[in-house]
Structure 1
Amino acid sequence: MVYMNNNKDGCPRCVKGKLIVLTETSETCCPKCGYVVDELSVDTGAEWRSNAGTDRPDRSRAGSPTSLTMHDRGLSTRISADNKDATGKHLSSEMRYAFKRLKTWDGRLNTVTSKDKNLITALAELKRLEDKLVLNSSISEKAAYIYRKALEEKLVRGRSINALIAASLYAACRELGVSRNLKDFELHANIKRKDIARCYRLLLKSLTIRMPVVDPVSCVAKIASANLEITEKSKRYAIKILKEASEKHLASGKDPMGLAASALYLACVKNGEDITQRDIAQAADVTEVTIRNRYKGLKDMQTVDDKMILSIEQHKRRKIKLTNHEKYMNRKKKAEDDIL
């Protein structure tokens, strides 16, 4: 069987012929000059016909992709509950009873070991937290990977499964740069914050995970979206303040959430918005004292910048005045020379 190749480029030798694929030999060649471009072509398209035997045509070449969020990685099979055979006919009562028993034993055999039972419980909780915290599947995959590593290192023994899976999800959020704090996990996981933090520190120490530094700029949008009615102008000004503080190494060793809250408060003060420290502190889950301390440092930085800008502008104005004076003296001297 012969069909056209989807490659838009023609033959690399004669350039005129369009490449074709011979399914019998899996060769990609040019019909004009006979040049063989590839000897082992792999067709990634759909099948030409369906062999599923169901009402809906199924022309897929493979099953669903593997996933770490399933205890068996999605590799095991399941006996369907449709009570139909391969041709779509209904089973008799005796066969339905037999397949019911087979399905029960199949489920038991897939969860024989304690590790499988542990993963089923943990990954079900992971799926629930993913929905509650509105996270994407890539973060869940990373969290499942971290939990599986912890299970291999036997860190789960003697500890709460829910606390450890919550700590794994928090570590995945931190590692992938997603802004979620321990308060969110405490609220949705129904576990004390100190228990999640203890398991999180255990994961970092035992699995040697290095977390990236949290950028305070990513916290601005989260604070401003907490029904504070802050304008976009203040948000952008706060981001500008944080970038300047980062360039001057004033953000090192500071809590990113507290620094972002202080920058947002300073931006609101500069733009004349009526937002109190208490409102921003509650939205950022920090104390008002933290905002006042960070606010003072950011304000001093802005004052220094304003003074520098003012001095530069004054220097420019003086230079312009001197230039005008020199022009006047030159014109005066030229006039005197003309008179003489």
Structure 2
Amino acid sequence: MSLRDVYETGFDEQTDRTLSADCPECDGRVIVDAGERRCDDCGLVITEQRLDRGPEWRSFEGDDDNPSRVGAPLTAVRHDRGLSTEIGQQRDGTGSPISGRKQVQLGRLRREHNRGRFRSKAEQNLAHACSELHRMTSALDLPKTVAERAAAIYREAMEENLIRGRAIETIAAGSLYGACRCDGVTRTLGEIADVAQCDESKVKLGYRVLNVELGLETGVRRPRDLIPRLVSAVNAFGDVERRARDLVEYAEEAGLANGRNPNGVAAACIYLAGQEVGEHITQTELADVADVTPLTIRKRYRELRE
């Protein structure tokens, strides 16, 4: 039977055990404490705690280059943050087909699972709002970050009890418009209302309630941010956009955009740029895509000419 100490070469499990090696500085006693080797006399740390810096996953197929991870990341777009379980219908987890008797059993389990998915009426309403946000985000081709922020805004509004007495579609559309304003994505109230299940006045109402009650960090909309969308809407050339950007920069420096509707200033810059470049763009066409009147474009155009 061996009488030597276990783990005498220094493992993490070893604590307060003296080693045979000496300290390289003072020739003192070297001990192992909490996974590190240090001198008991001068306190010199010889080796620190050893960490496993390899991957946290394990591959049992022998292919370490393409490891498989289970489950999607957490997301605020779904009411349960993506932690719910979905019961399949025709195939099992390995991809094999399921028998008819098993499909009937899974159908009953799926029905009971859907009934018990929501713990309260508020959670059920949140699921409906998340589905509306996902639908509107997909229809407008917005990035995922906007959808995440919109869902976070709606959740905060639900915690502040701002949903009571108002339609879910109204607050959801207002949350999406507020997320666009916070992330600097150029989307108008009319574009949100086109894909929402409410009119433009309701979208404006929902956004106003969220902005006042929650204090959204929305930036000031500037005319230069509206130039690309308006130029693309009227099918203008690149020279018009470049000249319109120069005119917008001049208008902001000269103070012509202060207190004015940014849509009207941007449309007037595009109209003046089209005249200078030789591109025929009518005021009525610009007024339709900028959601302003032709009179507003003429006023801003005259100010730019002067």
**TM superposition score category, shorter chain reference:** 0.7 to 0.9
What CA distance in whole angstroms lies between the structure 1 residues aligned with 2:167 and 2:216?
Answer: 21
What CA distance in whole angstroms lies between the structure 2 residues aligned with 1:153 and 1:225?
Answer: 40
Establish whether residue 280 from structure 1 lines up as the match of residue 286 from structure 2. Answer: yes
Establish whether residue 106 from structure 1 lines up as the match of residue 113 from structure 2. Answer: yes
Aligned with 2:109: secondary structure?
Answer: helix
The Cα of 1:97 is off from its aligned counterpart by 4.2
Q: Report the equivalent of 1:240.
A: 246
Aligned with 1:282: secondary structure?
Answer: helix
**Structure with bigger gyration radius:** 1
Cα RMSD after superposing both structures: 2.7
The Cα of 1:87 is off from its aligned counterpart by 6.9
Aligned partner (choices 210, 215, 220) of residue 213 of structure 1: 220
Aligned with 1:225: secondary structure?
Answer: helix
Aligned residues: 260
What CA distance in whole angstroms lies between the structure 2 residues aligned with 1:36 and 1:177?
Answer: 50
| TM-score of the pair, normalised by structure 2 | 0.76
Amino acid at match of 2:257: A
Aligned with 2:55: secondary structure?
Answer: coil
Q: Report the equivalent of 1:76.
A: 84
Per-residue CA distance 1:302-339 (angstroms, 9 max, x = gap): xxxxxxxxxxxxxxxxxxxxxxxxxxxxxxxxxxxxxx
Cα pair 2:90 2:103 within 8 Å, conserved: no
Establish whether residue 48 from structure 1 lines up as the match of residue 59 from structure 2. Answer: yes
Establish whether residue 64 from structure 1 lines up as the match of residue 72 from structure 2. Answer: yes
Q: Report the equivalent of 2:149.
A: 142
User: Unmatched 5+ residue regions in structure 2?
Assistant: 1-34, 37-45
Aligned partner (choices 274, 291, 299) of residue 293 of structure 1: 299
Structure with the higher fraction of residues in helix conformation: 1
Aligned partner (choices 39, 44, 55) of residue 50 of structure 2: 39
Amino acid at match of 2:58: E
Moved more, 96-105 or 269-278: 96-105
Q: Report the equivalent of 1:231.
A: 237
What pairs up with 1:53-202 in 2 under 5 angstroms? Answer: 59-82=67-90, 84=92, 96-202=103-209
What CA distance in whole angstroms lies between the structure 2 residues aligned with 1:126 and 1:107?
Answer: 21
The Cα of 1:78 is off from its aligned counterpart by 2.7
Identify the structure with bigger relative contact order (alpha carbons < 8 Å, sequence gap 6+): 2
The Cα of 1:91 is off from its aligned counterpart by 6.0
The Cα of 1:81 is off from its aligned counterpart by 2.7
Distance 1:270 1:208, change over 3 A: same
What CA distance in whole angstroms lies between the structure 1 residues aligned with 2:303 and 2:156?
Answer: 42
What CA distance in whole angstroms lies between the structure 2 residues aligned with 1:298 and 1:39?
Answer: 69
The Cα of 1:109 is off from its aligned counterpart by 2.1
What CA distance in whole angstroms lies between the structure 2 residues aligned with 1:87 and 1:243?
Answer: 60
**% identical equivalent positions:** 35
The Cα of 1:105 is off from its aligned counterpart by 2.1
Distance 1:39 1:253, change over 3 A: farther
What CA distance in whole angstroms lies between the structure 2 residues aligned with 1:230 and 1:90?
Answer: 55
What pairs up with 1:230-269 in 2 under 5 angstroms? Answer: 230-269=236-275
User: Unmatched 5+ residue regions in structure 1?
Assistant: 1-25, 28-34, 52-57, 301-340
The Cα of 1:92 is off from its aligned counterpart by 6.3
Moved more, 264-273 or 122-131: 264-273
